[in-house]
Amino acid sequence: MKNIFILLLTLAGVAPLLLECNKKETLPAPAFVPSAEVGAYQLKITLNPDPPERGDNQISVMIFPKGKTEAIRPDNIEATAVMPAMATMSEMRSDVKLAWQKNGENTGRFLLGMDGTYFLDVHFTPPGKPPHQARFKLVTGVPTSAGLTFLTSSVLGEQAVNTSAPTGEVMISPTRLQSIGVKTTKVERHPLTKTIRMQGRVTYDERTRSEVALKFAGFIGEVFVEFVGKPVLQGIPLFTVYSPELSATMSEYLNLLAAAESHSGRWDSLITTARKKLLLWDMTSAQIDKIVQTGEVPQYIPILAPASGIVIEKDIVRGSPVTAGQVLYRLADLSSVWIEAQVYESELSLIEKGLPVKVVPIGLPGVTLNGSVSFISPSLNPESRTGAVRIEAKNPQLKLLPEMSVTVETKISLGEPLAGVAPLSVPKDAIIYSGDKKFVFIDQGGGRFIPRFINVGQKGDEGYEVVSGLSEGEMIVTSGNFFIAAESRLTAGLSTFLEGTTVPVDPPRPSEAVISPPPRRGP
C-alpha cells in the first residue's frame, strides 16, 4: 500500500512536466532568414516566436565560414533591436549579449516595446579576425521569411556591402497598411487649373467722373441738388447763378441781333463770336435760343448737370459767391466701378488683360458680380512685393460702393497641352518635402514602397504638374505617406536617399541604389 501511494505522488509530480514539454513541442518551427553574407562568413538567424511580437523574443544566431557546415564560436557576439526616435516618440532600444551553445547557436532574449519596424544589428568577432557587423530590418507580425530583411554588412575597415533592396525601400504588412490608412492613386494626365484670390478695394471709374465749375464769377441763387449722395441725371438743373459778366455778354448778343436786322451781313461775325462765347461758358443752345425768343436777359441762369451720376462732393449754398474755376460739384457714375486689387509677385505672370474674374463683397454674403482685368501695373510695391491690378465691374444695382473691401477670384488654366495631351499631374498630398527637394512614394505592390524625387512645374488646385521623375500609370501614395516615411527611416535607406541625392531626370532604377550602414550606437 505504501509503494502504491509513492507511485501516485511520483506520477502527480511528473505529469505537469510532461504537459509542459508537449506544449513546447507544438510551437511553430522557426524559419531561417536567407543566408546573409558578412565578409567571409554567413549568418543564419532564428527568431522565437516567429513571427516576432511585442514583448519578449528570443534570437539565435549561427555563424558559418563560407562553404563550411560547422558553425564557429565567436570571441564576442551581441545584438541590438532599435526603433529610432520619430517625431515626439523617443528611441526604443533593446541590447542583448548572446551566449554560445553547444549546438553552435548563440542565443539571447530581447524586448520589443511596440509593434512596428526595427533595426536588428548583429555584431560579432570571429576568432583572430576583426569585428564584423550586419544590419537587418525586423517587422513585428511578419514571419521571418518575409519580415526579416538583410540590409547591409561590413567588416571593420571595409566598406558596406550593397544589397538588392532599393534605397529607402520599406515593407509594411497589410494589417499595418490598413491601420495607418495608406491610399494610392495612379499617375494620370489631367488639365490643371489654379484659383487666384486677391484682396481689393472698390474705387470710382475715373472715366465717369465729372466736375461742375463756372468759367465766370457770380453768386449762387437757388440750389436744387442740396446734398452729397443724391443721384442726378444729365441735363437737370443743379443750381442757378447770377453773374454780371454773363448778363453783359447776353445783352451784347441781343443787341448785335437787333442791329443785324437793319444792317444785315456786316454783323454776322460779331454775332457768331458772341454766341460762341456763351456756349463756351456752358450755356446750352436751347438756353440761348430761349433768350433770343423772349428778348430778355434773365437775372439767374440755371446750370445743368453735365452727366448722370451720384453727387460725391458739393461746395455751394444759396447766396454764396463763386469764382471762375471753383469746383462746385463732383459727380460719379457708379453703374460701373473699378477695383484696385493686389496680386502676389509669384502669381502676377498668370494675370493678363481681359481675364474674367468674380467679385465678392466681403460685407455682402451671397453677392457675386462679374468683372474683367483692364490694367496691370508695370511695377511692384517694393514693401509688399505685390503688383496692382485694375478690374472693371458692372454695378447695375449699386451694390458695390467706393472703399468697399472685396475678394477677387479667378481660375486660370496652367500649361499648354502638347498636341491636345494634358500634362502629368499628382495630388498635393502625395508630395513630401525635403529642403528644396520633393519626393513621392511609389507603390511597388505587396506592401513594398520606395521614395523617388520628382521635378514639378506649376501648382494647381488639384495638384502639381509633373516635369520629370514619374511615368503615366505608376501608383503613388496619397495618404499615409508620412507614416511610410517614418517606417522607411527605420531601414536607414531614406536617410541615405535624402542625403546628397540629386533630382533625377528619369526615375532611378533599383539596381543603382546603394545603402550605407547607419553609425553604430554605444554598447
- The count of C-alpha atoms lying within 13 angstroms of the C-alpha of 439, restricted to the half-sphere facing its C-beta, is 26
Nearest to 310 by CA among 235, 227, 232: 232
Residue 166 to residue 150: CA distance in whole angstroms: 12
Give CA–CA dist 377/414, Å, rounded.
22
pLDDT (average), residues 117-126: 90
Comparing C-alpha atoms, which of 387, 381, 389, 384 is closest to residue 410? 389
Q: 450 falls in which pLDDT band (50, 70, 90)? A: confident
Distance CA 227, CA 240 (A): 16
Instruction: Determine contact, residues 164/509, Cβ cutoff 8 Å.
Output: no
So what's the pLDDT on residue 498? 56
Per DSSP, the chain holds a count of helices (H) and strands (E) of 9, 34
Residues 311-368 pLDDT 10s:
999 999 999 999 999 999 999 999 999 999 999 998 998 899 999 999 999 989 889 9
Least confident of 9-13, 430-434, 496-500: 9-13
**Would you say residue 1 has pLDDT above 50?**
no
> Any idea which of 209-218, 236-245, 411-420 has the lowest mean pLDDT?
411-420
Over 80: is that where the pLDDT of 169 sits? no
- Domains annotated for the chain, with CATH where assigned, are 36-161 (2.60.40.3340), 183-191+419-512 (2.40.420.20), 197-205+334-413 (2.40.30.170), 220-306 (no CATH)
Residue 118 has pLDDT above 50, yes or no: yes
Choose between 336 and 419: higher pLDDT. 336
Q: How far apart are CA 188 and CA 425, in angstroms?
A: 6
Measured CA to CA, the distance from residue 32 to residue 26 in angstroms comes to: 18
- Sheet of 36-38: strands edge to edge? 36-38, 41-48, 55-65, 106-112, 99-100
* Nearest-angstrom CA–CA distance, 515 and 164: 9
**Residue 462: half-sphere exposure toward Cβ, Cα within 13 Å:** 17
The pLDDT of 427-450, averaged and rounded, is 86
What is the average pLDDT value for the chain, to the nearest integer? 81
pLDDT of residue 476: 94
For 352, the grid coordinates are 493678363
pLDDT for residue 267: 73
pLDDT > 70: percent of the chain? 80
pLDDT of 35:
64
Q: For 127-141, 168-182, 361-375, which range has the lowest pLDDT when averaged over its residues?
A: 168-182
pTM to 2 decimals? 0.55
Query: Which stretches does DSSP call E strand in 345-385?
Result: 356-361, 369-380
pLDDT band at 415 (very low <50, low <70, confident <90, very high): low
